[in-house]
Each structure stands twice: as structure tokens, then as C-alpha cells.
Structure 1
Amino acid sequence: MRVASQLPPAKSVAVNPTQEELREWVERMPNSQRTEFDNWNVTAEVTARSAGSTFVVTDDPGPISKQTMPRSEYSDVVRRQEEYIRDKDMILVEGYIGPENSPLKRATRVFIERSNANIPAMQQQLYYPKDADWREDDALTVIYTPNCPAEGYPDGRLVTIDLDNWVTRVFSIDYFGESKMGGLRMWMEWCFQQGALAMHSGAKLIPTDSGDKVCLIIGLSGTGKTTTTFTRQNGSLPVQDDIVALVEGGEVFSTENGCFAKTFGLDPKYEPTIYGALASPAGWLENVAVDENGGVDFYDDSYTANGRGTFSLAAIEHYDPRKLGKADFLLILNRNENIAPAVAKMSSVEQAVAYFMLGETKGTSAGGKAEAGKNLRVPGTNPFFLGHEYLQGNRLADLINSMDYDFGVYVLNTGRVGGTEDVEGSKKVEIPHSSAIVKAIAEGRIEWEADSEFGYLVATNVPDFDDPELLQPRRLYESQGRLEEYERLVTALKEDRREYMRNHAGLRPEILEALQ
């Protein structure tokens, strides 16, 4: 195993402070505010990931799909950051990615300026705790200087990923997501090297009469991944809300000891678990609207719709991540707005991988202004994979084929059917609709038929689902006299998908052929 870099010297270092100590430092931050829940919200200057300012450090960019930085330039970046840290008060938080029994457990740490104490406070909730076996030399390291200038780089910000030494460095960004993904992105690469596939996925366990079912949920931020993970079916319990690893034979391993939830539109009626955890003294909030009296408004997006919060798994009822076992089915979330059904079942492994590679959705504020409202395709719905995208697809095919049981893959539309909100007659797929679908998939109670246009299976009956036009969009368009529009959309989408998939040289031909 390659050795992690030593931490640079600083004026002072607070090592693994308590949550209470971190709250005291956060209280001194000029952009922090105590809320009605007796917790803290911090209004960060940066409101989303800085993908355009992120570089992989290498002198051999061939195997990397993201933008790169040569080591000669990186040496100057390291020197600049270490000089900056020398007279700063810092915080060091150490822990693990992965629970104690995971073969993919990896030591990790974040080293960050004390002036931004909310970031290590939130990160501490997501790490599994350090133990006597924790080794500095094995640690995935994030060196984080939110206030160190990054002149000459996009938006005056910089993130560097040094995979040779397992170090991510962050400059001039005060958004917590860069701390969280700083470690997880390196862990994903390491997992791939171990033969696994790290997935941008939630996980939950759903009890049924035929036994417990482990459900994986992948989707871009803002498509409903966390919501789908936490909605209850038959008393289901969440295990993980963001990143898991799938290994040969179908076993799944979780990563984080807490959750990082999107807060815009958070409603205790539909998401009581998340709401209860964040509306408590132990929750942390970031970029949420808070008035001068501490009142929280989860529907106010005047600053950003990408408000966030963290809480530990200990704050909620959850299933023990150490007992997760094998995955039974995978949900691919797609916030579509026209002809995608509320649920489609993939008819083959190759078709499942093809739709995994399409990674379709409508972008949200989580990806920044460049993505919000735009139609996106992100293979595996995983913007953090650093290698060439076709490798994800081929690896998933191998892993599914290694399973000695029927592993179902489904695409769920969490958006609308028939057009955008301003199109008369269009319909929204509501949270109760998606929940009924997930329950019926787990119980094996959906009736299916082949779709003549796309070759996947569409539902003819879902228990407790009251709108067949959401299940079969052709019906909606036909009933509204819009059948020609539907057929035009089908033709255009099929050709667009085929053209997009041709860009993934290296993807196995049978996967490309599975798209009708």
C-alpha cells in the first residue's frame, strides 16, 4: 500500500475534538447562526461542488477521465498550502470509511483550519470512530484550507487529488461537500483497484414475507436518493444514504456512519426521519434559510436550493451496516419530465448496464448552476469516478454475472410524466408513488409487460398505486391527443441515447446493443 503524506506543521492542532468543543468554535464564526432547533447553521460562500476547479495530479493523464495537473505544478501548490498552514490553528479529525467488519474499511482523516470548524464537525459525524488499529500510514488524507487563495484557477478555487499519495488538497472553498467527497473519491478509486465497484448509492433493508430484501438506490444528488433510502416500506430501515461498494458475489459494504441530506423542501410528513434528525441539537445545517430569530425555512431557496445537513446514524433508527449482506435489487433514479415511466424493469444484464451507463436525469442545484435544470447523463450517476467511464459498466456487468441469484435492476422516474410543471396535463411522480413501487418490488407483487418501444418491462399493476398513466406514459399522451408528440420523443431519445453510448469506447458491444 502506498504511504500517505505527513501533515504539515501548524501553529496549533486540535486532535479529534468533541462535538461540544466544535460547537464552541462554530459559535465564534461570523457566518454561523443558532437555530430554533438549538443547532447551528453556517452560511458558506460556496454552495455546491467545484467540479470545474478539481484536478487529478498525474504526469500520465491517459487513464484519467477528469482534468489533470502535472506534478511540477502540483509541487508549487503543496508548497503554497504548507506555507499558509504554518501559522494557522488547525483541527484534525480521524476515523474510518467503512464499519469494523468491512474488508474495504480504510483509515481516513481531514486536516482543516479551525476558523471553519463546522466542516470537521460535520465530517466527524460521517466517519466511523478511530480505534487502536488505526494507522496514519494507511490514511486517506484531506488537507483543507478554506481561506487559502487559489489565484489562477477556475473561480479562484482549487481541489487537487494525488492518488500516488492518497491526499486531496482543497483551497478557497468553504462547502462541506468537498471534505466529504475528498476522502470518499479516493476510497472509490482504491475500491476499484481491489476489484469492487463503489457506487453513488443509498442502501436500505426492507422486510417482506419472503425474507429481508437489501435495496440499493443510485442517483445524482437531488434526484431523491436519500428520500428513497429513508421512506419506510414494511418498517424498512436505512443503512447508508450516499456511497456503497458492491463486490463479487453480490455482497455490499457501507461507508459512512452518518448522512449528508439535502434540505430543500424537507417535509416531516414525507421525510420524518431526516427531518427529526436535522431538527435536533445534534444536527448540523449548511446554507439553510434561517431568519433573525433562528426560525428555519426549508422551502426558502433565495440563497440556494442546495441547503444541506448532517447527522449521525446513532441519531436515527437504522439497520446495522455490519449485517448488510448481499444486495437483492438496484434502483436507478432518473428525474425525467416526459416519457420515462415511474418504473421500468430491465430485461437483461446488458440492458441494466446500459441504463446504468446512461445515468440520465435533470440536473439540480447540488451540481451547481452549470447543472441545475439541464438534462444530464452521468454514467453510474457517479460524478466522482476518476477513470474512464466504460470501466464502471464492464465492472458492473462482471459483478452481476458473478451473482448466483436473480438480481433485479429497475429505473425509477422521480420527476414527471407528460412534460414540465407548466405543461397542462403533465403529472408528477409523488413520493408515495415511488414508495409504493419500492414496496411492491421488494415483495415481488408488480405485474409486468414488455414495452414495444424500449424493450424493458413496464408495470401493468402496482398495489396501492392509483395512476396507470404514470406507469405507462404512452397512455397519458394518447388520452390527451398527443400521441404524435410521444412518438417523436421516443424516436429522438432512442437515437440520442445510441449516439451518446458510442462515445464510450471500451464498453462491451453487447451492452451497446441492448439499447433498442
Structure 2
Amino acid sequence: MNPTKNSSQFASEFTQVVQPKEKYTGLGRAQLRELAKKDEILTEYGSASYVTKFKARSAQFTRTTVDGQITDEDRQTLTKVQEYLKGVDVIEIDRQMCQGPVGTDSFGCRLWVTKSYARLGHMFFSSLGPIEGEMDTPDLFVVDVPEFPGERRILVDPDAGVTYVLGTDYYGEIKKAFLRMVMYRAKQKGGLGLHAGSKEVWAKSFKTGNIERSGMLFFGLSGTGKTSLTCHDFALDEVKGEKTRVRQDDVVMLQADGSAKGTEIEGFYIKTEGLDPTDQAALYQAATGQLAIMENVCVEANGKVDFFDTKVSQNGRAVVPVRQVVNTDGDIDMPKANKIFFITRNPLTPPIARLTKEQAAVAFMLGESIKTSAADPNAKGEPVREVGTNPFIVGSHDQEGNRFYEILKNNPEMECYLLNTGKVGESDRARKITILDTVAIIRAIARDAIEWTKSDVLKLEIPKSVEGVAIEDFDFEKVWGIQVLEQRLQGLRMERKAWLDQFPGLDKDLTASLY
């Protein structure tokens, strides 16, 4: 059996498939949970909770064939892994990423995980959907051997559609292994895989008085509020016909025509730190349901769950059923994206700014945010730049930026924004941007209820007035002082230029549009 449809083209260690000692196939959610009972902590909600040895992704141990990072030692390790698999029991799970019959725009995904780590299979099964149609061989294949000795390794051959995850038991590695390869395939087909959430909003326009639809995308590194905003109801007025529908919380495939295709069909993998029923009601409700699966969350001996206690990890997670998230309807695709938000926490950024197409592509390339515990628990809070706020890009970063710019130019109705969810200013003069402020700002954008003005200092369009927000409280010149502000902006722009200079293939219209 070949692991992928194209594997005959790639005669490498990645595409060799061995016969394990015993292979368990066709297991359902309940059977997988039963196999994982030895690792389960039963919560007060009747759900399963697991604690892992590794509690974040191992980005520094991830290497791909496309980027020329695979070493001879890696290839020798793959041969050793395949020999090891002959003597152990393996669980095989087939699931599907993206909607539609296998062989169209969806992907058949096969996971092999050693039986002693059945909990990872339980979480994987609960994230993706059932196979539509027949799948003889998968499009994408992940082999996960958490107990394999030696250095952690995540070894990726995206052309063959194969990833080996070795030496780590964190579920996020499996999830991203599949998504990384799907995003690579999307780029090959003329689209772009985005680390972004998607939702549709119907709101009453202040200008027309009609209910207008917005297809929203939220870019952001893990832990910056991307999922929270994607799943928020924005306190819309249902009596007037306003509503929102969540499509996808983490990764979407943006097509050339501006449509956005979802990836994970049945489960969102959400961050649980500080989850509460007031500010994040939709996610809290889903996370406290019986079918949720918690990972590295504080659960006491009596099953009591505490989302605020980080003694287990600052990167507590849960796989929650999509259908149990309020304002979902089973559809993960979006026919058109026309409002795109880049989430940042840079104190030199206003709560909201409207971007030109060129500035939006620059924002995409800058990917400015802060590090979170999901990426690196030891560097939490440090500033970071990541192209597309996407740590999972395979291949040319220049191509990613140019493709994004091309899609923006071909879809003139797309509007792009910088969204600061942190604070404006520093020290005692800083003004915190609350989630209520952010929600009101996004609601006002959906209602076309913001008056804009050009800031020559920031080189951005910023709000003069926003429905429901005292935007004057975030006046930059008052919070920073004009002299300090100009000095800090000068330094920031020099840093941004140095960052963009790393990408010589980037469209010159973008390098000339630095803000």
C-alpha cells in the first residue's frame, strides 16, 4: 500500500509503509476514548481531559523537504522508525479535511498513532469529518510515534503528503501536520492557505438601512484572540435581522475568487486559558460540554475544571464540537471574504486602522504580534513577526505575499484592517483596549458606522468616530506625546523595512507602501 496517491513519484524514506505488529482500523469516537481511558481525567462535565508531556509545538524541530532542511540523520531516523513500527500496535484513523467528496477540493487524511497514545487518535477523530465517498489511499498521511527515543522531530515531505511526528505527545503537532500540508496544496492550486478564522456577519448598514453581509477573516498567531473574535456574537440586534455565523476558527483556504474554504469539519482546537461565560460565552459553552476533550487544563481530583489556573500549562486547550459552538450551522465554507482583519498587540497601533490593498499586503508580510504560550511558553509576551501570522508556511514567503496581494487586487470589494487587541501606549499612560471595545469596533465596521480620517503621523486611515466606542480615549498624540511617538515610529519603520528586505522577490509596490 502506498501512503498517498502521488507517492510513486517520490522514492524516499517518507513514502515507505511497513506492516505494524497489529493495526486497529475503523474505530469510532467512543472506542478511541475507551482505549485512552488509562490517560483520562474525568471532568465535572463528563468529558475527557488529558495531560501531555510536551505542552506546545516543537517548531525548532520541524523540517521540510521543500525548504531543504531534511538531513541524512533525519532520513536514517525515518528508517529506524519504520523498523520500530513493525513491532508495535498502531491505530489507523481515516478522516476528511474540507467539505466535499474526496478527490475534489477536500483531502482524505490518514493518521497512524501508536496504540499507547490512543488519546491523540481520540482528539484527531473529533476534529475532522467522516470520509465522503471512497478513499483507497489518502491524500495526506501522518505517522505519530510520541514514544520514539532521541530528539524530537517533525519531518515533512509536503509534495508526497507525508509527515512524521516523533518524540512529542502534543496534539497540536498532529493538527498542524495536516494543516501545513493542506496549505501547501492550496498554494499549488493558485489559492492561499491562511492561519485565520472566518465568519459571516449580517448587520444593518447605517448608510443604506439594509441588512448587509460581511465575510470576515481574522489573522492572528495562536493565543491573540483570533478564535475568540471568530466565535463572538458581537452583540448584534437579532430583532432587526442581524446575525453571525461562524465558519472556521483556525485555517482557511482563500481562493483566487475571494471565497474561503474551511478545513476542520467537526472540532475546533481552542485555547482555554481564562475562558469565562461572560466574554467568551460561545466557546465556554462548547468547552464545558460532555463531548469536549481537554488537554493540559487544570482539573482537580473531583473533576472540577479551572480555566484560570495555569499550573498544568499556560497553553491549556480543548477540542470542542463545532456544532456545539453557538452561531454555527454546519457549513465551514464562506462564499466571499470582503473584510479582513490583522490582529496585533503593538502599542504603536490604533485600536483599528483601515488599510490600502498595498498596506494590507505589507501587514500580511509583517505579521506583527506577540509570542504566546502556544508558540513558546518561555517567550510569552515578546514581540514577533511571522509572515501571514502563519508559522506553518512551506516554501517561498515572497510568493505568499505576492499571492495575497494578487487576490486582493482581483477582488476590489475586499477591505482590510489592522486590529489592535492589546493597548495603546506604554506604562502609566497606556490605554487598554478591552474585548468590549474590540467587539464594538468590529460591529461598527459591519454596520458601516465608522467615520474615517487620514493620520499623516501614522500614515494610516484611523477612526474619527466609532459607534459605541469613545475612540477619543485612544488619541495617539495624547497617549504618547507627539515627539516620543514620532521617534518610536521612525524606529519601528526601520525595523519593518529591514524585515521586508529579507524578501527580495516581493512586489515592489509593497515595499514602497510601508506604514
- What TM-score does the superposition give when structure 1 sets the normalisation length? 0.91
Q: Report the AA paired with residue 475 of structure 1.
A: K
Contact residue 261 and residue 334 of structure 2 kept, 8 A: yes
Report if the CA contact (8 A) 2:101-2:132 is conserved: no
SS at match of 1:356: helix
Q: Deviations over 1:273-306 (max 9, x none)?
A: 1111111110001111112221111111223211
Q: Which residue of 2 aligns with 1:61?
A: none
Quick one: which of 374, 378, 385 aligns to 2:386?
Answer: 378
Does structure 1 retain, via aligned residues, the 8 Å contact 2:260–2:336?
Answer: yes
Tell me what 1:424 maps to. Answer: 428
Residue 508 of structure 2 corresponds to residue 514 of structure 1: no
Match of 1:205 in 2: 200
The letter for the 2-side match of 1:341 is: P
- Tell me which residue corresponds to 1:96: 96
1:406 counterpart = 2:448: no
Provide, for residues 160-199 of structure 1, a one-character-per-residue CA deviation record: whole Å limited to 9, x for no partner: 0012421100111000000001111011111111010010
The letter of the residue matching 2:364 is F
Structure 2 regions of 5+ residues with no counterpart? Answer: 9-14, 205-210, 237-242
Q: Distance in 2 between matches of 1:270 and 1:490?
A: 33
2:247–2:333 contact (8 Å) kept in structure 1: no
In the alignment of these two chains, the number of paired residues is 489
Aligned to 1:331, the other structure's residue is in SS state: strand
* Corresponding letter in the other structure for 2:442: V
The residue that corresponds to 1:392 in the other structure is 400
Residue 91 of structure 1 and its aligned partner are, at CA, apart by 1.3
Between 433-442 and 96-105, report the one with greater CA deviation: 96-105
2:181 alignment counterpart: 186
CA contact 2:94–2:111 (8 Å) conserved in 1: yes
Q: Which residue of 2 aligns with 1:118?
A: 119
Q: Among 316, 319, 328, which residue is 2:325 paired with?
A: 316
Check 1:101–1:433 CA distance in 2 against 1; reply closer, same or farther (3 A cut).
farther
> Does the 8 A contact of 2:248 with 2:332 survive in 1?
no
Q: Please state how far the C-alpha of 1:133 moved relative to its aligned partner.
A: 2.6
2:307 to 298, 302, 326: 298
2:273 to 264, 269, 275: 264
CA separation of 1:252 and 1:87: change in aligned 2, threshold 3 A: same
- Say whether 1:350 aligns with 2:373: no
Q: Give the superposition deviation at 1:312.
A: 2.1
Question: Do the aligned partners of 2:101 and 2:133 also contact (CA within 8 Å) in 1?
Answer: no
- 1:141 corresponds to: 141
Under a length normalisation based on structure 2, what TM-score does the superposition of the two structures give? 0.91
Q: 1:214 to 1:339 in 2, by over 3 A?
A: same
Structure 1: give runs of 5+ residues left out of the alignment.
Answer: 59-63
What are the Cα deviations for residues 367-387 of structure 1, in whole angstroms up to 9, with x where unaligned?
A: 113542211000110110011
Query: Which residue of 1 is the match for residue 110 of structure 2?
Result: 109
Q: Deviations over 1:227-265 (max 9, x none)?
A: 010111333121100000111121111111120100101
Q: Distance in 2 between matches of 1:425 and 1:323?
A: 43
Given residue 251 of structure 2, which amino acid in structure 1 is its aligned partner?
A: I
The alignment status of 1:177 with 2:175, answered yes or no, reads: no
Deviations 1:375-429, CA, capped at 9 Å, x for gaps = 10001101100112111110011111112x421000101111112xxx2232221
Partner Cα separation in structure 2 for residue 394 and residue 97 of structure 1: 26
| Counterpart Cα distance in 2 of 1:248 and 1:130 | 26
User: In the aligned structure 1, how far is the partner of 2:333 from the partner of 2:424?
Assistant: 38
1:13 and 1:91 in contact (8 A); partners too: yes
1:289 aligned residue: 298
1:478-497 equivalent positions in 2, closer than 5 A: 482-497=481-496
Q: 1:493 to 1:297 in 2, by over 3 A?
A: same
Distance 1:322 1:43 in 2: 29
Q: Find runs of 4+ consecutive structure 1 residues off by over 4 angstroms.
A: none
Q: Which stretch shifts more, 315-324 or 491-500?
A: 315-324
